[in-house]
Structure 1
Amino acid sequence: MVGVKSADLAPTVAVKVFSAGAAGCVADLVTFPLDTAKVRLQIQGESKPPSGGQRAKYRGVFGTISTMVKTEGPRSLYSGLVAGLQRQMCFASVRVGLYDTMKQFYTGGSDNAGIGARLLAGSTTGGMAVAFAQPTDVVKVRFQAQIRLPESGSVKRYNSTIDAYKIIARDEGFKGLWKGCLPNITRNAIVNCSELVTYDIIKEQILKSNLMTDNMPCHFMAAFAAGFCTTIVASPVDVVKTRFMNSRPGQYSGALNCAFTMLINEGPTAFYKGFIPSFLRLGSWNIVMFVSFEQIKRAVMRCQQSWDSPL
């Protein structure tokens, strides 16, 4: 990212990758209930009873969280957290940690990257990250969508994260763990371009205009703007990805069929189901992640400088 002081050593690729993965985990720990509420709102309505007229179980992000706590207990808000943390260590470390490297690759090593090079770098690292993290994303979504009703005696779909990997691989084959890979690649190429490029450009302009120094307030403003832009652009693909990854075998023939079924049965507004929790989650996630990323990266560099300096 832009804004490294000349007096500082440039962080290595390894430092960026580690810092991004750690920052992604911190952001998930803080915002996971919002992400779970978003998933519940996105899948709501995909299984309508024949008679119709069923009232929506979840209404709004805080209403969804409240309903889940009352009916399933507070732990339900963090269902799938283990897979979520696994995902961030695989996912954020690649898509965020390698962004600057890919940006330099597309500019031939130049630090003056245009919008085209930034977009290419964002879409490339977003697609690469899916290749590493897709199974963890599938398991995370399945757990978040799984309703926990202890008093009903219903059988849970999965008992643990490892159990979920095993059952999906056994019942749905290797393809099951990579279900929704294409819409997820599409989504994350869009998300990465919106998120990283917006953050990169806004941070750069703030620093060039001398409105703020390269510190936490600047990172906060750039991250908030990145979260808002990303939510608007990525919500439709995100809803389709969530529905398709959570679907039973044979429910949809593919991601496009899932999107078409949603359009026919629920109308175009279905593609923006869970928009408010998506924005609350992406906005807060971006703020926590980018602020943590910048601070962890600097802390690691300070430790490295202290370790390398003579006594």
Structure 2
Amino acid sequence: MSKTVRDLTAGTAGGIAQVLVGQPFDIVKVRMQTAPKGTYTGMLHCAGGILKNEGPLAFYKGTLTPLLGIGVCVSIQFGVLEWLKRSFANQNLRKGKGGEGGRTLSGEQLFAAGVMAGLGNGVVSGPVEHIRIRLQTQSNTKPTYAGPFDAIKKIYAAHGIAGIYKGQAVTLLREATGYGVYFMTYEKLIQREMAKKGIRRDEISPMNAVLYGATAGYALWAVIYPIDMIKSRMQTDGFTSSTGQKYTSTLDCVRTVWRTEGIGAFTRGLGPTLIRSPFANGATFLGFEMANRLLSSW
């Protein structure tokens, strides 16, 4: 199996693990981010309302889209990341730095690889998350869309490809910034353990992979949460003035939220995100590392 195919396959395993673990927390986050101020008193109020009014399966509402799409997204992330890591390692080797095989990359190299991984991922994650958020926030009694494919069909018919990619500019900003920090944090922790213990990557404990993934997840959200909130607002906004459009652009969204709701709106829904992060991101890296070890033995 080629290294690229292995990376893409292992990335898909990590993406599926991420969705299955993180989806219930994500719907609470999105509801809190997009609801009018004062709708929920906190995370438990929001989660309790979903459970009471919509039932336990509501926590997996819109899961099919991310299960299919996020698997592809994380596959792209790791595919781009690992390819660039190998490219940087070859550069280091030619320059006589980076240790054995040039594989000890600098923070700048890892950040750059993460940024490119995020941009590659953003091309797919933008529409995937847009459709997921539409399904997560629609009325349970009179839903606009019957499911992800119905949502894609209706949005495309009414607004074209631009409708599918609504909120894409802020999505790309979020992905590039966040994944630069995300992968740099994880890889530096991996490097540290390998150097400290004198071990190979495949000898690192799976529990440490979970721990490092959880830490990387917290670093990611510490940087991007306000951007993510704006993305959610843009992706739940109406498409035109006749369909309830509130924001004319990303900057208009930032200004409007700041003026009408204050700085607190930019961190609304942070609680479920911080609870979700160690589980979802730990599962992502555990899925990737374990799948990679298994595939490497074939």
**TM-score clears 0.5:** yes
Distance of 1:33 and 1:93 partners within structure 2: 22
- Could you tell me which of 152, 168, 175 is aligned with 1:188? 175
Task: Give 1:175 shift.
Answer: 0.2
Query: Which residue does 1:234 correspond to in 2?
Result: 224
Query: Which residue does 2:100 correspond to in 1?
Result: none
Q: Is structure 2 residue 276 aligned with structure 1 residue 281?
A: yes
SS of corresponding position for 1:158: coil
Q: Is structure 2 residue 125 aligned with structure 1 residue 138?
A: no
Structure 2: unaligned runs, 5 residues or longer = 93-102
Distance of 1:164 and 1:109 partners within structure 2: 45
Distance of 1:31 and 1:58 partners within structure 2: 21
- Could you tell me which of 189, 194, 198 is aligned with 1:202? 189
Distance of 1:59 and 1:77 partners within structure 2: 19
- Could you tell me which of 242, 254, 258 is aligned with 2:253? 258
Query: Which residue does 1:53 correspond to in 2?
Result: none
- Could you tell me which of 12, 20, 26 is aligned with 2:11? 20
Task: Give 1:107 shift.
Answer: 5.2
Task: Give 1:96 shift.
Answer: 2.2
Checking the alignment, whether the CA contact within 8 Å between 2:130 and 2:165 is kept in structure 1 is: yes
- Could you tell me which of 208, 214, 220 is aligned with 2:204? 214
Query: Which residue does 1:83 correspond to in 2?
Result: 65
1:53-75 CA-to-partner distances (Å, cap 9, x unmatched) read: xxx33333333222101011112
Distance of 2:145 and 2:122 partners within structure 1: 23
Q: Partner letter of residue 264 of structure 1?
A: R
Distance of 2:152 and 2:91 partners within structure 1: 40
Checking the alignment, whether the CA contact within 8 Å between 2:213 and 2:285 is kept in structure 1 is: yes
Q: Partner letter of residue 227 of structure 2?
A: V
SS of corresponding position for 1:97: helix
Distance of 1:182 and 1:217 partners within structure 2: 36
Distance of 2:139 and 2:57 partners within structure 1: 11
1:6-55 CA-to-partner distances (Å, cap 9, x unmatched) read: xxxx971111111111211122112200000000010022xx6xxxxxxx
- Percent identical residues: 24
SS of corresponding position for 2:197: coil
Distance of 1:83 and 1:23 partners within structure 2: 16
SS of corresponding position for 1:59: coil
Greater fraction of residues in helix: 2
Query: Which residue does 1:92 correspond to in 2?
Result: 74
Checking the alignment, whether the CA contact within 8 Å between 1:76 and 1:148 is kept in structure 2 is: no
Checking the alignment, whether the CA contact within 8 Å between 1:61 and 1:277 is kept in structure 2 is: yes
1:163-191 CA-to-partner distances (Å, cap 9, x unmatched) read: 00001101222100011111000001122
Q: Is structure 2 residue 143 aligned with structure 1 residue 112?
A: no
- Label 1:105 to 1:208 Cα distance change in 2 as closer, same or farther (>3 A): same
Q: Partner letter of residue 281 of structure 1?
A: R
Task: Give 1:109 shift.
Answer: 4.2
Distance of 1:237 and 1:167 partners within structure 2: 27
Structure 1: unaligned runs, 5 residues or longer = 1-9, 49-55, 150-154, 305-311
Q: Which moved more, 1:236-245 or 1:249-258?
A: 249-258
Q: Is structure 2 residue 253 aligned with structure 1 residue 248?
A: no
Task: Give 1:193 shift.
Answer: 1.2
Distance of 1:283 and 1:257 partners within structure 2: 33
Q: May I ask how many residue pairs the two structures share in their alignment?
A: 280
Q: Report 1:156-195 matches (<5 A).
A: 156-195=143-182
SS of corresponding position for 1:98: helix
- Label 1:209 to 1:94 Cα distance change in 2 as closer, same or farther (>3 A): same
Query: Which residue does 2:31 correspond to in 1?
Result: 40
Please report the RMSD computed on the Cα atoms of aligned residues, expressed in angstroms: 1.9
SS of corresponding position for 1:156: coil
- Label 1:147 to 1:204 Cα distance change in 2 as closer, same or farther (>3 A): farther
1:285-308 CA-to-partner distances (Å, cap 9, x unmatched) read: 111111111111112223x1xxxx
1:71-99 CA-to-partner distances (Å, cap 9, x unmatched) read: 11112111110111122122111112321
Checking the alignment, whether the CA contact within 8 Å between 1:11 and 1:297 is kept in structure 2 is: no
